[in-house]
Structure formats: structure tokens, C-alpha cells
Structure 1
Amino acid sequence: MTAEEMQRVRLPLWLGLAGLSPYIVCVVSAYLLPMRWQALAVEVFVTFGAIVLSFLGGVHWGVAISLDRCGTRDFNARLMMSVVPGLLAWPALMLDYTEAAAILMIGFWLVRLYECQQDSAERLPGWYQGLRKLLNTVVILCHLAIMARLTLLG
């Protein structure tokens, strides 16, 4: 990657890393703060995860309307896929927090699998793929940490 390309992707990188801070703060809080604050941290974690997962669906809506021809198979498939994250996230908010975290984690994993398919690889910039790989890895690890906190420590 050239210096100019690095400069262009600096903002998305910093914004993506900033977007990890609520996850990390909530995980640390769920382990270290007094019990009342731990419960709030878990609630905030799940709510933030649902918002971010829905946002990722919106990315693919945007890709479809800007890069695919309306009515084509690729357009229709990408639009349908773009609503799945929100349709997973919304009901997750009504479940037990352990179940919600598991469903959200699966949703993040499924979106990432979709982004790795040839069709998506051709439409998403390389820098986005690299950034999403990093962010998704951290987000899934945070979900595992929250589920461990809820399951193992009560």
C-alpha cells in the first residue's frame, strides 16, 4: 500500500478502532466493576452490538444500490442480505443476555463470511476487507468474553 493509500484509509482505521472502545470498556467493566455496574455494562454491550450489526447490514444496502444494477440477481441477493443483520439484532435485544450475545456473535460471523465471498470481495475495497477482519475478530472475542462472564462467573 502506498503512502497516499495509507493516508486515505487512516480515517476509517481510526474510526473503526474507536468503534471498538465501547466493546472493550463494557467487557472490562463486566469483570471489574461492582455488580450493579457489571449488569449495566452487559446491557450496554448487547445494545451496542445490535446497533453495530444492523449498521453492517446498511453497508451492504449501500453497496447494492451503488454498485449493482437494480433488479439483477446480485442486487436482489445483496439487498436481502442487508436486512438480515437487523432482523437478527432486533429480537436478540429481547432475550437473555447470554443468548443475545451468542446470536449477535453469530450475526457478526455470518456478515463476515458473506463479505469474504467472491461477489463481495469484488465489490468491497481491499482496505475495507482488512479493517473488517481486524474489527470482527475483536468483536467476536469480546462477545466470547461477555458470554464467559455471564456463564462461568454468574
Structure 2
Amino acid sequence: MRLNAAPRLPWMLGLAGLIPFVATAAATWLAPIAWQVVAIRAFLGYAAVILSFLGGVQWGVAMCRERPGETPFRARMLLAMVPSLLAWPALLLHPLTGAWVLVAGFVLVRFHECSRDGRTQLPDWYQSLRTLLTLVVLACHGLVIWRLAGA
């Protein structure tokens, strides 16, 4: 994984985007109990927003780089909707269940991004950056799920 291959701005923005994940995951363990509840809600809300954003990335790639009407365009446009359709309902579920749904969403997006069809039209640097970001996001989800499971 070579993060230095990514242009500096996406790298910095990607790392900055991890701050709410790390801060709220830590707060679910370290904050006073009343604030832990707030931290869990904030974590799940932010995760849903970012998961939806990842669908938007695919939508943008389809619009700018695929040929409308062709199979890759249709497939990418349809797949672009899946993250939002997972993220929003996850917020309506019990927090533990919702966190697991969000984990599934992040994993599915990453699998798509790593697939032959998913990699097409994305810059080479995107893969290494997204791998790191996804690993940190999944680790934060693990901490929150562990907390919600009663640890």
C-alpha cells in the first residue's frame, strides 16, 4: 500500500475524514455514560453519511467516465445507489444491528472497488487510499460494536 502515490489533497482529506470516526469511537469507551450514547449516535450518523458518499463517488464516475446506455454505465449507476439504501435504514435499526449493516455496506463497497469492473475508470492511487481508509473505518466499527455488545 503506497499512500504517497495518491495526490496530496485526497490523502489529507481522506485522513481528515477519519477524525470523526476515531473521535466518536473513542468517546463510546472513554466519555461519561451520557455522552457515550451521543457518541454512538454521532458515529452511526457519520458512518451512514460517508457510506452514502462512497455511492456518490461511483455515481460521479459513471456520469463522467462511462458511456451512457452501455452495461458498465447502468451497472455502476445501480451499484451507486446501494450504499445509501443500506445506510439510511441502518439508522432506523437498533444501534448494534445498524452498526453491523454499516460494516456490511463498507465491505461491499470495498469489494466492488477492488473488483475488475469497480477498478475500471478509477485512478490507480484511489485503491491504496481507500484500502487504508476502509481498514480504519472497520476498526472503529469494531470498537463501537464491541461497546454496544456490552463489553
Which consecutive aligned stretches of 4+ in structure 1 deviate over 6 angstroms post-superposition? none
Deviation, structure 1 residue 76 = 0.3
Q: What one-letter code is carried by the residue in structure 2 that aligns with 1:36?
A: A
Matched, 1:47 2:45: yes
Aligned position for 1:19: 17
Check the 8 A contact 2:6/2:129 in 1, yes or no.
no
Identify the match of residue 79 of structure 1 among 77, 80, 87.
77
Identify the match of residue 140 of structure 1 among 138, 141, 151.
138
Q: Distance in 2 between matches of 1:51 and 1:79?
A: 18
Q: Distance in 2 between matches of 1:110 and 1:140?
A: 12
Q: Percent identity?
A: 46
Identify the match of residue 102 of structure 1 among 100, 103, 113.
100
Q: Tell me, which stretches of 5 or more residues in structure 1 are unaligned?
A: 1-5
Q: Which moved more, 1:114-123 or 1:80-89?
A: 114-123
Deviation, structure 1 residue 122 = 2.5
Check the 8 A contact 2:5/2:125 in 1, yes or no.
no
Check the 8 A contact 2:90/2:101 in 1, yes or no.
yes
Q: Distance in 2 between matches of 1:121 and 1:37?
A: 40
Aligned-residue CA RMSD (Å): 1.2
Q: What one-letter code is carried by the residue in structure 2 that aligns with 1:25?
A: A
Deviation, structure 1 residue 126 = 1.2
What is the TM-score of this pair, normalised by structure 2? 0.95
Q: Distance in 2 between matches of 1:93 and 1:49?
A: 10
Q: Distance in 2 between matches of 1:68 and 1:122?
A: 10
Q: Distance in 1 between matches of 2:45 and 2:65?
A: 31
Aligned position for 2:35: 37
Q: Tell me, which stretches of 5 or more residues in structure 2 are unaligned?
A: none
Q: Distance in 2 between matches of 1:106 and 1:148?
A: 16
Deviation, structure 1 residue 7 = 8.7
Q: Deviations over 1:22-48 (max 9, x none)?
A: 000001110011000000000000000
Secondary structure of 1:49's partner? helix
Are residues 33 and 64 of structure 1, via their aligned partners in 2, closer, same or farther at CA, if it must alter by over 3 Å? same
Aligned position for 1:121: 119
Are residues 8 and 100 of structure 1, via their aligned partners in 2, closer, same or farther at CA, if it must alter by over 3 Å? closer
Q: Distance in 1 between matches of 2:93 and 2:50?
A: 18
Q: Distance in 2 between matches of 1:122 and 1:152?
A: 42
Matched, 1:152 2:144: no
